Copies of this chain bind each other. A is one copy, B any other.
């Protein structure tokens, strides 16, 4: 069951929902058809479990970077510049390209919640930066939070298009250049 979920996460990441067949999942998990259909009602149920797991992983990784000491800009820059397998893309953001995920409330919900959480968490960090005097009062935390999240997701898109992580890194550095600086 554990292997089924992990294999589904990996396949959804690589090939998306439409491109992932139950058979491929079984092969990757080294499990039979009977086993899969015993634990999960079908492809959608299994995908739901996998997406929820991926969302939890993304939140945990982001929270680790955004919580702790350091200025708001330093924490945001740390999050932006963290080691990533850029050409693989984002395992959660990737699913927004899947029409069957977007159309099914059960599958879209964990994706929506993950990015809602991320934007809220980033907005908190920006708000802290305003309170500490690091950022001007005019800065809108919700806007900046969305911009930061978008640069990452869009950076993946540009990198995969180019076949190189360079555009991702340019986009991230460009955003860091634009953010008001504390000590940086």
Contact = CB atoms under 8 A, between A and B. Distances in A.
Of listed A14, A97, A115, A163, residue having the most chain B CB within 10 A:
A97
B147 A97 contact: no
A153 B100 CA distance: 20
Contacts of A114: 161
Interface string A129-173: 000000000111011111111111111111011110001101111
A18 interface: yes
A175 B149 CA distance: 11
Interface residues of A, number: 58
Interface in A75-91: 89-90
B163 A112 contact: yes
26 contacts: A19-B19, A96-B157, A96-B160, A96-B161, A97-B97, A97-B160, A102-B160, A111-B161, A112-B163, A115-B161, A115-B162, A119-B170, A142-B170, A143-B173, A143-B177, A146-B174, A147-B170, A149-B167, A150-B150, A150-B157, A150-B167, A151-B154, A153-B153, A154-B155, A157-B157, A175-B178
